[in-house]
Structure 1
Amino acid sequence: MYIVPTPIGNLLDITYRSINILKKVDYIITENIKHTSVLLKKFSIINILLSLNACNEHKKTKKYISMLKSGNNIALVSKAGTPVINDPGYFLIKESYHQKIRVVPLPGACAAITALSASGFKTHQFCYEGFLPKTKTACEKKLSSLCHEKRTIILYESPKRLVKTMKLIKKIMGKRRKITIAKEITKKWENIQRGTIKKLLSKIKKEINWKKGEITIIINGSNPIISNVISKKVFKIFYILEKIMQKSTAIKITAKICGFNKNILYNTIIKKKLHEVD
């Protein structure tokens, strides 16, 4: 079983080894037969294409495992990029190991890693979160859990949800949080922008080209040192207000006065209180 990455835009990004494997295997399992056919035609590859997608993955896995056990060599490809990364194939790979079938991964294109390398943020530690939940409540909960993540954060997003997601990032992580947004990586319409969430949100609202294409969002990791410095500046105001009103109201007003994110301020205060109790 070969795991073969394919280009995420520019067809010339495919490796010689990938082309060689796609020519030699007995079958190619793909997420999108029509899309993969274009790639094969480009490099004069003639082979049999079989489907594996989110709808038939469980059903087809048993069939493909049987084919592998019969001695066939199979290549797994996704619509674009590295298979299994936010794409079908997990069950097939897992079952291949269970059945003692050799799994051979090839290196190649991946939007998350390509965008990360151009983000201008630290890359020695990062977390990949894929697509955020579709509902607003679940999305807010997920972003809140990532608010104090020190590692660089990688997200995928659809152009239709981009503005809404960036508004939530601004609300929860603060308008000064730095991010990089990458659109249509490796294609001629490639566009990579870096700056504060406030600046980039204002920019993409005005540019219609951000309403199309595949988007990768890279969020700079939380800096606890900066957070602590800011906290010291606002704590005094908060403590004065807390004496005359409810804590939630005091946090809201303090955040507004200091231009600070209320969610971050709330979490910082709670952590400080717990530390004082300890």
Structure 2
Amino acid sequence: MSQQGILYLVGTPIGNLEDMTFRAVRILKNVDLIAAEDTRHTGKLLQHFQITTPAISYHQHNRFEREIDLLLELKQGKNLALVTDAGMPSISDPGYDLVKACHEHQILVIPIPGVTAAITALAVSGLSTERFCFEGFLPTKTKERRERLETLKLENRTLIFYEAPHRIVETLEDFNEYFGENRMIVLARELTKLYEEIWRGTIKDAIVLYTSEQPKGEYTLVVAGASLTEIPELSEAQLKQELYKLMNQGMTRSQASRHLAETSHLSRRQIYQLALEIED
């Protein structure tokens, strides 16, 4: 049996081509095949760096059938690179499915690090970088969206979201409802590109700005976590109620307990004991 190939996760620039690494160029030149979210978009990148490796599409709509083909290529000993249109593959990207499948088939996956919009925006935000959580795109369905924001309302870590320009105002209004108008927020758009803009202020001010100004480009939103004054001390009965809500949304007892421990005066172990008292 021939040795299996390697899947390389290759980070690509989120805008400025000068952010491409020497290692990324070398890997893309040396692999047998490149799986790209959009072959036309990636084609411009390959042409710029004089990379002639063939590329095929791998995206949200064909990932399941394409996964079978790519796994076959890897099992036959070919080395593949996975790229997204911008940033690191598998972050808010269907590449996750292929990476998971490779691990299940004992195929080696090697990361080639690159720029990520979430970390870039966080670093420049001026908000706390000690503890943060990445939420990506919020659900578009109203019920799911509200449930997600409800679980984040008392989150004291810095929050990072992605958002499309046509949904910015709606998202800011949702933030206003769940996080309050005075919570600090940073809106970063067109990061590393010619018209890069990093705006910092309160959620209230952001709503005023973007209801009078047309949002343009893809956005990364960095929101300050809840302050201690915003987090009330819950009684055991209230904690059980919150645990029930979180578990009803799909969290395990352990996950729900860990989540509530972040904003409670009780330890995770104490909250977990309360969770054990809740019937399945």
Give me the TM-score of the superposition, normalised by structure 2. 0.79
Q: Which residue pairs with 1:49 in the alignment?
A: 55
Q: Which residue pairs with 2:112 in the alignment?
A: 106
Q: Which residue pairs with 1:213 in the alignment?
A: 217
Q: Which residue pairs with 1:28 in the alignment?
A: 34
Equivalent position SS for 2:178: helix
Counterparts of 1:177-216 in structure 2, within 5 Å, are 177-208=183-214, 210=215, 212-216=216-220
CA contact 2:154–2:230 (8 Å) conserved in 1 = no
Q: Which residue pairs with 2:126 in the alignment?
A: 120
Aligned AA for 2:221?
A: I
Q: Which residue pairs with 1:149 in the alignment?
A: 155
Looking at CA atoms only, which structure, 1 or 2, has the larger radius of gyration?
Answer: 1
Deviations 1:176-208 (A, max 9, x none): 011111111111111111111011211122222
Q: Which residue pairs with 1:227 in the alignment?
A: 230
Identity %: 42
Q: Which residue pairs with 1:3 in the alignment?
A: 9
Equivalent position SS for 2:70: helix
The structure that is helix-richer by fraction is 1
Q: Which residue pairs with 2:100 in the alignment?
A: 94
Question: How far did residue 89 of structure 1 move?
Answer: 1.4
CA contact 1:78–1:88 (8 Å) conserved in 2 = no
Deviations 1:36-81 (A, max 9, x none): 0000011111110011111111111111111111111100001111
Equivalent position SS for 1:109: coil
Equivalent position SS for 1:217: strand
CA contact 1:125–1:152 (8 Å) conserved in 2 = yes
Aligned match for 1:85, one of 88, 91, 98: 91
Q: Which residue pairs with 2:67 in the alignment?
A: 61
Question: Runs ≥4 in structure 1, deviation > 6 angstroms?
Answer: none
Question: How far did residue 141 of structure 1 move?
Answer: 2.3
Count of matched residue positions in the alignment of Structure 1 and Structure 2: 229
Equivalent-residue separation in structure 1 for 2:51 and 2:149 (angstroms): 43
Q: Which residue pairs with 1:135 in the alignment?
A: 141
Q: How big is the alpha-carbon RMSD for the aligned residues of Structure 1 and Structure 2?
A: 1.7
Equivalent-residue separation in structure 2 for 1:49 and 1:125 (angstroms): 38
Q: Which residue pairs with 1:251 in the alignment?
A: none
Could you tell me which runs of 5 or more consecutive residues in structure 1 were left unpaired when the two chains were aligned. 232-270, 273-277
Equivalent position SS for 1:193: strand
Aligned match for 2:18, one of 12, 35, 40: 12
Equivalent position SS for 1:103: strand
Give me the TM-score of the superposition, normalised by structure 1. 0.79
